[in-house]
Homo-oligomer: A and B are copies of this chain.
Amino acid sequence: MSLEHILLGLLREPASGYDLKKLFEERLSHIWRAELSQIYPTLKRLERRGLVDSREAAARRGSGRRLYALTKAGRQELHVWLSGPPQFADERMAWVAQLYFMGELEDLDQTMRFLGSVRAHFAAKLAALSAIQRMWTAADPRYPRDLPVEDLHVHFALRKGMCSLAAHIEWCDESVAELTARLEARSSGTSREPGAAEEAP
């Protein structure tokens, strides 16, 4: 299970389940997501297996707080995972499946709207990652040169996200352009279907 390994990775410094949820949101939002209801049992399982240990600590607010830390066995397990082959999950892209079948609707305007939503979605995500990159650049104008090894890998992951999203957006634009050509050809050329006449010269 990857969540277990990711938790081990995040536990470089001791953290509570609640903390880890925040780390997911702050640092890994473009890579992985996890709910508290999944994190808590997983931490317990890791502790039973001796990969982490825990101690009680004062809560910053509210009641008790349980801090988890990597054990030697845990760090070793993490290294095994990191040294292994890349784990490719077969992506299930429901939105692409929707597009694949959308010809069924015979409604190119719907396709156009759909592509608009998709583009907006990815543009928003890209903006978020770009903001992170701008922060790095502002902090060090030589970025990404001279990054410590740790940060270099974080940088790689960030760039992965940015490159993917940029490609998605370009693909949206390519597709919209193809669609637009269709729609223009249809409105100016032979109109088999009687519809509203537009752009009369």
Contact = CB atoms under 8 A, between A and B. Distances in A.
A117 to B, nearest CB: 5
Contact of A103 (B85, B88, B121, B149): B149
B2 A92 contact: yes
| Copies of the polypeptide in the assembly | 2
A88 B82 contact: no
Interface string A73-113: 00000110111111111111111111111111110101100
Contacts of A152: 103, 178, 182
Contacts of A110: 82-83
Nearest to A175: B156
Contacts of A154: 100, 103
Nearest to A110: B83
B95 A86 contact: yes
Interface residues of A, number: 68
B9 A96 contact: no
Contacts of A31: 92-93, 96-97, 100
Contacts of A106: 149
A154 B29 CA distance: 30
Interface of A: 2, 5-6, 9, 12, 28, 31-33, 78-79, 81-106, 108, 110-111, 114, 117-118, 121, 144, 148-154, 156-157, 159-161, 163-164, 166-168, 170-171, 174-175, 178, 182
Shortest beta-carbon contacts, A-B, top 8: A167-B167, A103-B150, A9-B101, A86-B95, A87-B94, A163-B171, A103-B153, A2-B94
